[in-house]
Structure 1
Amino acid sequence: MTWKLPSLSALRTLDVAAKHLSFTKAALELNVTQSAVSRQIRQLEEYLEIMLFQRVKKKLVLTESGENYLREVRVGLTCIENATVDLLAQRNDKGILNIAAPPVFSVKWLIPRLVAFHKSYPDILITLSSRSKEFDFDAQSIDASIYYGCDDWPNVVSEPLLGNDLVPVCAPGYLKGKRRVVTLSDLSKHSLLQQTRRPNSWHDFFADQGIPAANAWAGPQFEHFYMLLQAAIAGLGVALMPRFLILDDLASSRLIEPVEHHFASRDSYRLVYPPSKRNNPKLELFKRWLVNESIHFKKQSAAQ
């Protein structure tokens, strides 16, 4: 059985009217009359046989059914918008490559290097989105993801990049008036900033040197490395960070290493993608460029 769907114009009107909770303001945004908005909503309600809006104390509000319907409609409108943008980009002879990456990796390392990539491959348009949690290539419209973790993910291709060299860092002013840090044992008695997605980082750091640290799981918690970095700069405590992400912060003395000790973590930043994308020419070019950039960066860092 084929159902006649509401018009896209009616659904767009619903979206804008719900955003403003005012037919008058919706009309201004849509560049139509207030009566046209009212008519579109009325016709949509008649078609659905459900009230989408009601007035409560002279204020326009969504009904419960209206809220539920709008939630799904907005998902559909977003999908249509994204598909249209992708198609228009392809029409302009730009091959789109959708890459997801953690915010701190994107801001501190990847984005500054994308200029060089675009100069080398002007026909490939990188769409970069923020993603820190586990990837699901079946549910997400991304070609590849840069992810921090071990090489233990099933059903994906994984290319190592950077980031397994971790160092403890803090703001220069954090240690003023506090217990001196001469040894790692001294460090264990300070406020250790935690990354919630890597709860064992400090424990592994101290255990690597055979140092008991009851404080290893204590301390303020932050979900992302970017939050952890900002917390350390603000003076909230000591953070355990991939060194390559904080070279500029160390050079500018926004951060210092309270004790010189590096820890080789099992985790690192990796480029991951599904096997079905293995022969994607755009992804192959990006992968080759990204791996070469990583190798070049590591050689540069080692020479300094």
Structure 2
Amino acid sequence: MFVCEKKIPSSASLQAFDAAARHGNFVRAANELSLTEGAISRQIARLEDLLNCKLFDRIGSRVKLNPVGVRYAHHVRETLDRLERDTQYIMSLPEGSKSLDIAVLPTFSSRWLIPRLNGFKDLYPTITLNIAAKTTPFILPGSGFDAVIHFEHPAWTGMRRQFLFQENLLPVCNPKLLTNDDVNRQLNELPRIHRRQNPNAWHQYAQENGIRLDNPDQGVRYYLHEMAIAAAIGGQGVALVPQGYVEHELSSGKLVSPWPVSSCLSKKFCLIKPTETGINEAALENFERWLLTETRTLNSLAT
């Protein structure tokens, strides 16, 4: 069977190249790494031989990255930085602990998940949760994530999926914007705040609830629900946002919603897991069990 040889430079060559690229000088790179200038030069030569191209333009005793070198230096710097972060993280883990890397939609993470994580920590003190924001679906196997909290999407076909809750949208605004009892007329008159990824939401909401909106496309557009919520709190207009993300603001009076919640503008959120179980499966099962308990409140809002 033919096996393709991997083209992976040695760590010594990459460190020498990174130092030389940052300093633009082999002597200073050698001083940083406690090597000789000759050792730096030999490591760079080996790297260039592997790549079959030059990375530096040599001008007398000076060196300068050529365009290929500039591009490669950027990727090498990112790789070394990531390797250092991962190494420090593993070194910091207490003995016997487990860690989970979970990808989550940004607003769900900041407004709902993270504020509740103390409860998870109390139940499972030996499990460390690392949360990363992901706005779009991606290929889960090989991504470095143990699971994803996201809405249903064809990208997750073949993955293990556990339904968590139904996300329903609700119009909200600063109470100062409501000046009379005819709230439907005011919804037509007030500035509307849109989420860029769902430009037809207001049109669909008006049709569903029989509310007249003369220009449903009018208004500013924001990328995240978090941004739209902040704009609504600031009095910029009416935002159509997930009901479960603004429960605190509604109960405290920072936001009000005299309009009905939408039943057609909804998404099913799931915990998506790889098909094959991994070394963190037991920890992931504990996280899933905790999530199912916590999301009961979100499901009660949708009924």
What is the TM-score when the length of structure 1 is the normalising length? Answer: 0.77
SS of 2:100's equivalent?
strand
SS of 1:193's equivalent?
strand
Q: Deviations over 1:33-77 (max 9, x none)?
A: 6xx486565334322155434599xx9863211122224434543
Q: How many positions carry a matched residue from both structures?
A: 292
Instruction: Quote the residue 2:124 is aligned against.
Output: 121
Instruction: Quote the residue 1:108 is aligned against.
Output: 111
2:192/2:239 contact within 8 Å kept: yes
Q: Are 2:159 and 1:156 aligned?
A: yes
2:104/2:148 contact within 8 Å kept: yes
Report the CA distance shift for 1:17/1:212 in structure 2 as closer, same or farther (over 3 A).
farther
Counterpart mapping for 1:146-295 below 5 A: 146-148=149-151, 153-162=156-165, 164-173=167-176, 175=177, 182-211=182-211, 213=213, 215-257=215-257, 259-264=258-263, 265-277=265-277, 280-295=281-296
Runs of 5+ in structure 1 lacking a partner? none
1:23/1:37 contact within 8 Å kept: no
Pairwise CA distance, 1:94 = 1.7
Pairwise CA distance, 1:282 = 1.6
2:139/2:155 contact within 8 Å kept: no
1:144/1:271 contact within 8 Å kept: yes
| Amino acid paired to 2:42 | Q
| Amino acid paired to 2:228 | L
Pairwise CA distance, 1:2 = 6.0
SS of 1:216's equivalent?
coil
Runs of 5+ in structure 2 lacking a partner? none
Pairwise CA distance, 1:200 = 2.7
Report the CA distance shift for 1:240/1:3 in structure 2 as closer, same or farther (over 3 A).
closer
Q: Are 2:45 and 1:46 aligned?
A: yes
Report the CA distance shift for 1:229/1:55 in structure 2 as closer, same or farther (over 3 A).
farther
Q: Percent identity?
A: 28
Q: 1:63 & 1:39 partners in 2: Cα distance?
A: 21
Report the CA distance shift for 1:152/1:38 in structure 2 as closer, same or farther (over 3 A).
closer
Q: 2:236 & 2:66 partners in 1: Cα distance?
A: 45
Report the CA distance shift for 1:2/1:162 in structure 2 as closer, same or farther (over 3 A).
closer
| Amino acid paired to 1:245 | Y
Pairwise CA distance, 1:210 = 3.1
| Amino acid paired to 2:108 | F
Q: Deviations over 1:218-240 (max 9, x none)?
A: 32222211122222223332111
Q: 1:181 & 1:10 partners in 2: Cα distance?
A: 72
Q: 1:5 & 1:159 partners in 2: Cα distance?
A: 39
Q: Are 2:107 and 1:98 aligned?
A: no
Q: 2:7 & 2:111 partners in 1: Cα distance?
A: 50
Q: 1:224 & 1:37 partners in 2: Cα distance?
A: 51
The more displaced of 209-218 and 227-236 is 209-218
Pairwise CA distance, 1:256 = 2.7
Report the CA distance shift for 1:133/1:190 in structure 2 as closer, same or farther (over 3 A).
same
Report the CA distance shift for 1:2/1:248 in structure 2 as closer, same or farther (over 3 A).
closer
Pairwise CA distance, 1:254 = 3.0
Q: Are 2:176 and 1:134 aligned?
A: no
CA RMSD of aligned residues (A): 3.9
| Amino acid paired to 1:207 | Q
What is the TM-score when the length of structure 2 is the normalising length? Answer: 0.77
1:21/1:61 contact within 8 Å kept: no
Pairwise CA distance, 1:297 = 6.1
Pairwise CA distance, 1:213 = 3.6
Q: 1:200 & 1:142 partners in 2: Cα distance?
A: 32
SS of 2:210's equivalent?
coil
SS of 1:255's equivalent?
coil
The more displaced of 146-155 and 108-117 is 146-155
